[in-house]
């Protein structure tokens, strides 16, 4: 039972990580640049929801479209300031500009909302439900469902629509896409908007259970970066799988002594939250050494 | 001719320093150098607010000049801020960052320039370096963890305690003092684990802690992790007392949780301003709310008391920074939170309280007070 409980928690956490990682990879593919502010966009999504709920106290699900819209617009502004003026410069210029914008977002949030942790409203209602003896929070179920819907919707958008074709064409080869009449700059701007909207939703989802502070973005960008590396640099489904693996590992590893009772008591101390981080980063190094293309192979060839 | 001689004498007397001292307000320079951004911004903002409110309430015979400078979290930021503040003009004392690494960087400058640093930093080392220019107005772990453990063991009768703490310096220091104090009662934790600040899911650590069959849980975590831990514990229905560290006394921490989730949770701190209790505390609470539109915590109150003590020292005649430092080292001051007196090393706070939540509101009640834990207040 504990295994299932941990698994549900891990999947809920991974679902939100996946939205962040997905946005990260979308921009990576479209521009070839690493957006180090993607984690700060998660933070921004949380605070946008908090600002909205202070004006309009409704469940998170009702706020969701507004959060998507506002963070999407934020993505357009982000691309106008942080990407387009530097797009013909070396990639290092873009990722430094994303770091700078991330710091600006952090400090704007700090000045506007203050430093204390805040929580977004639950998507539906707070509380738990009993599912066959398993106590599952309603928020966790809602997070998994919303994330699944968004990932599915994003897949449909990219694979089944003309806009998606244009976005993919731009991501694959900007010069060729432009030669075919695709408005490459518009597609890149829309990619930024889609990416930040996904991050914004992740912020709304995460901040109810895990709260949000202006400096939380750093943690999320690390998770997105590791997910993209493990899954395969530039692979969308790889990023989702990587995010899930990270979250489930983070939740399950420290509890292994309970899940595997035959483990000798003498080594129980090795299975802590701290050692989970060590093992996670060792796994990242192992992937880089042994399978640098990641679990699903690599699309983007240049890494920051 | 005689008239003009008398007029001249009167004018001379009016301009003399003695007369100026009696009527013109004395000048006090108190730069406020605290971390308003970065990971300690919540506590740093409380520090700033406490100091600024104290300056607003300065005795009428003082003219206080102050600037608030954000030191963020880097030692060099704090050092630069301190040097700039000292170079700008006459400084009586400095409200200095509660971040231990910044304090350690600022201490040599304070010693060289003979300027007292007034802080609520919990880092033990800052008062262990023999520097006579540091004064800490928040009880360290050697005080608060005594209260933390004594309440659990003596008042609640707990014997099988699990301990969960942070991997940071704050967490490690708290853990050391908790384990030492448990040992004084002949006890050791039945389970202990350190958590990184970024840990999101508390189910694994709580499951492991409960598997050790504890009768209570001591936690020493930062604000966000404290709220996450207590929320998860409520969801699991652990049903045993949780006695938290001082992060739980901060109103923003309680605001993250539903009152019902807080039922049975207790915490240690220097004081619980939101709980009120005395006319002075009520007045502080009202002024703080009016001025900053937020709830005060113990850090704000500690910094308020410390700054007020500096102002009282100047009001009573300390003019230079070195004189203020000497006064702080010798004075006994009745603050709102407690009585302050240096233990000879600059530790001014020697009391702690335990507060508990009843499950109906987010405002805790002070249930136990531990005064003069170090014995420094004993004449």
What residue ranges do the domains of chain B occupy?
12-139+277-348, 141-269+353-370
At residue B14, the pLDDT reads: 45
Residues of chain B contacting A, Cβ within 8 Å: 36-39, 41-42, 44-45, 167, 193-196, 198-201, 203-205, 207-208, 211, 223-224, 227-228, 235-236, 250, 252-253, 255-256, 258, 294
Chain B residue at shortest CA distance from A277? B196
The interface pTM score, or ipTM, of the predicted complex is 0.85
At residue B48, the pLDDT reads: 97
Mean pLDDT across A96-102 = 95
Q: Predicted confidence band at A299 (pLDDT cuts at 50, 70, 90)? A: low
Of B41, B194, B201, the CB nearest to A13: B201
A273–B236 CB contact, under 8 Å:
no
Mutation for testing the A interface, residue in B35, B99, B200 having most A CBs under 10 Å = B200
Tell whether A118 lies on the interface with B, counting CB pairs under 8 A.
yes
Name the minimum distance, in Å, from the CA of B283 to any CA of chain A. 24
B44–A258 CB contact, under 8 Å:
no
At residue B111, the pLDDT reads: 97
Of B204, B223, B252, the CB nearest to A6: B204
- CA B342 vs CA B13, B215, B253: distances in Å: 40, 37, 31
pLDDT tens sequence across A195-219? 999 999 999 999 999 999 998 999 8
Q: What percent of chain A has pLDDT over 70?
A: 98
Q: B152 and B218 in contact (C-beta within 8 Å)?
A: yes
pLDDT tens sequence across B190-222? 999 999 888 889 999 999 999 999 999 999 998
Q: Predicted confidence band at B340 (pLDDT cuts at 50, 70, 90)? A: very high
Report whether pLDDT(B77) > 90: yes
pLDDT tens sequence across B240-298? 999 999 999 999 999 999 999 999 999 999 999 999 989 999 999 999 999 999 999 99
Report whether pLDDT(B28) > 70: yes
Of A114, A211, A254, the CB nearest to B224: A211
At residue A201, the pLDDT reads: 95
Report whether pLDDT(B23) > 60: no
Chain B residue at shortest CA distance from A268? B208
At residue B73, the pLDDT reads: 84
Q: Residue B259 half-sphere exposure, CB side, CA atoms within 13 Å?
A: 7
Task: For chain A, list the domains and their CATH numbers.
Answer: 2-290 (1.10.3470)
Report whether pLDDT(B17) > 60: no
- Look at B8-17, B132-141, B220-229 and tell me which has the smallest mean pLDDT: B8-17
Report whether pLDDT(B20) > 50: no
Chain A residue at shortest CA distance from B203? A6
Q: Helix A2-31 and helix B203-211: axis angle, to 10°?
A: 160
B38–A215 CB contact, under 8 Å:
yes
Chain B residue at shortest CA distance from A257? B208
At residue B3, the pLDDT reads: 44
Q: Predicted confidence band at A171 (pLDDT cuts at 50, 70, 90)? A: confident
Report whether pLDDT(B15) > 70: no
The model carries a pTM of: 0.86
Q: Predicted confidence band at A90 (pLDDT cuts at 50, 70, 90)? A: confident
Mutation for testing the A interface, residue in B201, B247, B257, B293 having most A CBs under 10 Å = B201
At residue B21, the pLDDT reads: 45
Mean pLDDT across B38-57 = 91
Highest mean pLDDT among A242-246, A270-274, A289-293: A242-246
Handedness of CA B362, B251, A274, A278 (dihedral sign): positive
Mean pLDDT across A270-278 = 89
CA B307, CA B55: separation in Å to the nearest integer? Answer: 7
Sequence-distant (6+) residues with CB within 8 A of B237 are: none
Name the minimum distance, in Å, from the CA of A271 to any CA of chain B. 10
> Which of the pair, A112 or B308, is modelled with greater confidence?
B308
At residue B202, the pLDDT reads: 93
Show the 3-state SS of chain A: CHHHHHHHHHHHHHHHHHHHHHHHHHHHHHHCCCCCCHHHHHHHHHHHHHHHHHHCCCCHHHHHHHHHHHHHHHHHHHHHHHCHHHCCCCHHHHHHHHHHHHHHHHHHHHHHHCCCCECCCCCCCCCEEEECCEEEEHHHHHHHHHHHHHHHHHHHHHHHCHHHHHHHHHHHCHHHHHHCCCCHHHHHHHHHHHHHHHHHHHHHHHHHHHCECCCCHHHHHHHHHHHHHHHCCCCHHHHHHHHHHHHHHHHHHHHHHHHCCCCCHHHHHHCCHHHHHHHHHHHHHHHHHHCCCCCCCCCCCCCC
Structure tokens at B264: 């049975």
Report whether pLDDT(B9) > 60: no
pLDDT tens sequence across B114-168? 999 999 998 888 999 999 999 999 999 999 999 999 999 999 999 999 999 999 8
Q: Predicted confidence band at A115 (pLDDT cuts at 50, 70, 90)? A: confident
Q: Predicted confidence band at A226 (pLDDT cuts at 50, 70, 90)? A: very high
Tell whether A3 lies on the interface with B, counting CB pairs under 8 A.
no
Please state which CATH number belongs to domain B12-139+277-348: 3.40.50.2300
Average confidence score pLDDT of chain B:
91
At residue A49, the pLDDT reads: 97
Of B42, B196, B256, the CB nearest to A273: B196
pLDDT tens sequence across A120-166? 999 998 888 888 778 888 989 999 999 999 999 999 999 999 999 99
A255–B208 CB contact, under 8 Å:
yes
Q: B184 and B308 in contact (C-beta within 8 Å)?
A: no
Instruction: List chain B residues with CB under 8 Å of A281.
Output: none
Question: What topology is assigned to B141-269+353-370 in CATH?
Answer: Rossmann fold (3.40.50)
At residue A300, the pLDDT reads: 57
At residue A234, the pLDDT reads: 84
A116–B42 CB contact, under 8 Å:
yes
Tell whether A84 lies on the interface with B, counting CB pairs under 8 A.
no
At residue A92, the pLDDT reads: 86
pLDDT tens sequence across A68-88? 999 999 999 999 999 999 988
């Amino acid at each position: 039972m504990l295994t299932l409980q941990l698994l549900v928690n891990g999947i809920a956490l991974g679902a939100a990580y996946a939205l962040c990682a997905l946005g990260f990879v979308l921009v990576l593919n479209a521009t070839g640049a690493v957006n180090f502010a993607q984690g700060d966009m998660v933070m921004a999504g949380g605070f946008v929801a908090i600002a909205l709920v202070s004006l309009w106290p409704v469940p998170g699900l009702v706020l969701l479209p507004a959060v998507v819209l506002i963070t999407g617009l934020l993505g357009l502004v982000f691309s106008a300031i942080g990407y387009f003026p530097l797009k013909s410069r070396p990639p290092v210029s873009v990722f430094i500009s994303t770091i700078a914008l991330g710091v600006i977002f952090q400090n704007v949030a700090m000045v506007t909302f203050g430093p204390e942790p805040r929580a977004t409203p639950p998507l539906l209602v707070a509380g738990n439900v009993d599912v066959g003896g398993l106590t599952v929070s309603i928020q966790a179920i809602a997070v998994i469902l919303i994330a699944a819907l968004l990932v599915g919707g994003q897949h449909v958008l990219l694979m089944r629509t003309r806009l998606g074709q244009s976005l993919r064409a731009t991501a694959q080869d900007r010069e060729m896409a432009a030669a075919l009449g695709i408005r490459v700059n518009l597609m890149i701007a829309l990619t930024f908007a889609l990416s930040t909207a996904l991050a914004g939703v992740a912020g709304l989802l995460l901040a109810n259970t895990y709260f949000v502070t202006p400096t939380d973005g750093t943690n999320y960008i690390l998770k997105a970066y590791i997910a993209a590396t493990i899954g395969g640099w530039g692979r969308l489904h790889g990023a989702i799988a990587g995010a899930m693996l990270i979250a489930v590992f983070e939740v399950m590893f420290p509890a292994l002594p309970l899940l595997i009772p035959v483990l000798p008591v003498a080594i129980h101390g090795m299975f802590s939250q701290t050692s989970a981080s060590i093992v996670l980063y060792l796994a990242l190094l192992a992937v880089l050494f042994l399978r640098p293309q990641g679990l699903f192979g690599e699309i983007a060839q240049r890494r920051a | 001719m005689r008239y003009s001689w008398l007029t001249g004498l009167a004018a001379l007397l009016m301009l003399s320093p003695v007369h100026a001292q009696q009527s013109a307000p004395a000048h006090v320079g108190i730069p406020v150098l605290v971390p308003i951004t970065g990971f300690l911004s919540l506590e740093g903002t409380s520090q700033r607010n406490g100091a600024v409110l104290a300056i607003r309430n300065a005795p009428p015979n003082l003219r206080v000049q102050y600037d608030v400078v954000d030191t963020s979290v880097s030692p060099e930021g704090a050092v630069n801020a301190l040097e700039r503040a000292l170079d700008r003009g006459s400084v009586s004392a400095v409200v200095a960052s509660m971040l231990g690494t910044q304090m350690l960087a600022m201490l040599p400058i304070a010693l060289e320039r003979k300027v007292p640093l007034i802080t609520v930093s919990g880092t033990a080392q800052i008062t262990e370096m023999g520097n006579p220019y540091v004064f800490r107005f928040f009880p360290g772990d050697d005080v608060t963890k005594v209260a933390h453990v004594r309440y659990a063991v003596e008042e609640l009768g707990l014997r099988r305690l699990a301990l969960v703490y942070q991997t940071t310096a704050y967490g490690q220091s708290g853990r050391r003092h908790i384990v030492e104090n448990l040992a004084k009662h002949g006890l050791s934790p039945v389970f202990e684990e350190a958590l990184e600040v970024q840990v999101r899911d508390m189910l694994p650590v709580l499951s492991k802690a409960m598997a050790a069959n504890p009768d209570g849980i001591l936690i020493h975590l930062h604000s966000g992790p404290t709220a996450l831990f207590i929320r998860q514990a409520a969801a699991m229905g652990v049903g045993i007392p949780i006695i938290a560290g001082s992060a739980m006394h901060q109103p923003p921490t309680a605001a993250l949780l539903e009152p019902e989730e807080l039922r049975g949770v207790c915490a240690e701190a220097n004081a619980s301003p939101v709980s009120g209790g005395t006319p002075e505390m009520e007045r502080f609470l009202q002024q703080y709310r009016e001025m900053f539109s937020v709830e005060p915590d113990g850090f704000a109150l500690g910094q308020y008391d410390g700054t007020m003590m500096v102002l009282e020292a100047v009001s009573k005649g300390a003019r230079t920074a070195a004189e203020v430092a000497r006064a702080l080292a010798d004075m006994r001051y009745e603050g709102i939170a407690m009585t302050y007196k240096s233990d000879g090393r600059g530790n001014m706070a020697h009391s702690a309280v335990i507060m508990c939540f009843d499950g109906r509101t987010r405002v805790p009640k002070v249930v136990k007070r531990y005064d003069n834990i170090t014995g420094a207040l004993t004449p």
